[in-house]
Amino acid sequence: MKNVTRRAFIGTSGLLAATLAACGGSTGSSDGGSSSGGNSSASGSGSVYWLNFKPELDETLQDLAKTYTDETGVTVQVVTAASGTYSETLIAEMDKSEAPTLFVIGNAAGVTEWDDFALDLAGTNIEAEEIDDTYDLYDEAGKKVSQGYCYECYGIVANADLIEQAGHSIDDIKNFDSLKAVAEDIHSRADELGFDAFAAPDMDDSNSWRYTGHLANLEYYYEEQDDGGWDECPAEIKGTYMDNFKNLYDLIINNATVPSTELATGGHDPLTEFTDGKAVFHLTGSWDYATMVAAQPNIKMLPYYCGVDGEENAGLNCGTENCWAININASEEDQQATIDFMVWLVSDPDASAKMVEQLGIMPFKNAAESDNGFLNDAADYTAAGCYVMDWATNYQPNVDEYRAALVSALNNYNADPSDTTWADVKTAFVEGWATQYQAANA
C-alpha cells in the first residue's frame, strides 16, 4: 500500500473547499509571539485537561498522556465523553472549577456557543506547526476559535473478499444500481453464504450519528451544490434529495444482519460484525481503518451511492470536526502547558505516529505521514477526477436537538415503514432544520 502524504491528500481531496461556516483567513504568523503561545518550556509548571470527544481515541490518548507526564513532569488528564454525549459533558465540565483546558469546537454551532470560552489561537506555537488552515474556525470578528488537528473521510466500507465469495466484484460497484444489485443478492443468500450485506444500522447513541449526521450529508451536499455552495448555515433547506437519502437508507435497513424493527435499542456492535466477517458493508470512516484492516485486509471505502445523476463520478466525504480549542479562562500557565502538549502531539515522532495511526492525516509540518488506506481511497477517487463530498452536515443547526428528532422519526419508520412514517422523517429533516435554525438564532 502506498503512503499518502499530507500535502498529496490536501491537494487531491478537495480540502480547499471550505465546509464550515466562518472558515477563512490564512495561516497566521509562525513566530509564536502571543503571551500564551510563546516558546515551549515543558518545565512541569501548569497542567493539561483534555476533554476528548472521540471514544475510539481514548486508549491511545491515555498512553500518550502518561508518556508526556513521565518525560516532562506536566500533569495531563484526558477525559473522554461517552459517544453521543460530548455537548452535555462539555457544558457540565466547563461549569467546574477545574475545567478542561483543551476541548473541541468542531462546527459553526460550536463557534456560536463556545466563542467566549476560546482563546485566540493566532500567533501561538500550535498554529506555527500548521501547514493548512482550511478547516480552522473563526468567529465573526476574525478570532481563530479552533484549529483542525486531523482530516478524515467517511463512506461505505466494503469487504472485497466477501463480495468475491458471493460471486461479484467490488470493481463493478460504481453507482446505486450496482450497489443495490450486490447488496440485495447477498442478503437473499445470507444463510447460504454465512454473511449478510450491511452490518446492523443501529440507532442507539453510539451509532445513530452514522445516519443522522453522516448519511444525511448526501442530501445536504447535493442541495448545497445546487445552491452554489454554502458559506453560512442556511435558514432552511428544501429536501430536494430526500428520495436519494431514502434510496440508500432503505437499502441498508432492508439488507442488514438484523431486522429494522430491532434497531432502536442498538447493541448489535456493527463494527465487530464487519471485522468478524458477518457483514460485507459498514458505514464508517477513516478513524476505524486500523481496527478494520487488522481483521479484514482487503477492504475499500465506497462513496455514498444513492441514485443521483452522474454519481459514477462521486468521491468520498472528506472533512473534519476535530478542531482543538483552548479554554480562555484557564490560567496562563495551564494555557501554555496545553499548547506545549499539543505541539508535542503533532511533532514528536513517536507521539505523532500514534496519533496518525488512529486519526489519519494531521495537517502539521512535523507530524508523521499516514498510510491510512481509506484516505488513500479518497485521494485515488479525486485523482481519477471524482468530486469530493464536503461535510455540509457540519451546518446542522442546534445539532443535538435536530439529530434527536431525526432519530425518533427514523425509529418510527424502521418499526413501520410506510409513506406516512417517511413523511414524518422528511418533516424532521426539512422543517426540523428551519425550527432549529430559529431556535439557535433567536
Question: Are 247 and 307 a contacting pair, CB within 8 Å?
Answer: yes
Quote the pTM value.
Answer: 0.79
Please check whether the domain covering 6-151+320-388 is classified as CATH 3.40.190.10.
yes
Q: What are 124-141's pLDDT values in tens digits? A: 999 999 998 888 999 999
How many Cβ atoms are within 10 Å of 212's Cβ, its own excluded?
A: 23
Q: Which three cell numbers stand for residue 58?
A: 481514548
Place of cell 485486509: 297
- Cell numbers at 73, concatenated: 513532569
CA count, 13 A, side-chain hemisphere, 17? 19
- Dihedral sign of CA atoms 351, 355, 356, 362 in order: negative
Q: Which residue has the higher pLDDT, 200 or 39?
A: 200
Q: How many CB atoms lie within 10 A of CB 140?
A: 9
Of 11, 25, 251, 33, nearest to 146 by C-alpha is 25
Instruction: Kindly tell me if the per-residue pLDDT of 29 is higher than 70.
Output: no
153-317+397-440 CATH pick, 3.40.190.10, 3.60.15.10, 3.90.1150.10, 3.40.50.720: 3.40.190.10
Domain extents in the chain:
6-151+320-388, 153-317+397-440
Cβ neighbours of residue 96 closer than 8 Å, sequence gap 6 or more: none
**Looking at the chain, how many residues does it have?**
442
Quick check: 387 and 372 in contact, CB under 8 A?
A: no
Please tell me what DSSP assigns to residue 182.
H
Task: Report the C-alpha gap between 117 and 120 in whole angstroms.
Answer: 10
Fold match between domain 6-151+320-388 and domain 153-317+397-440? yes
Q: What is the pLDDT of residues 41-90, one digit of tens each?
A: 445 589 999 999 999 899 999 999 999 999 999 999 999 998 878 989 99
If you average pLDDT over residues 140-150, what whole number do you get? 95
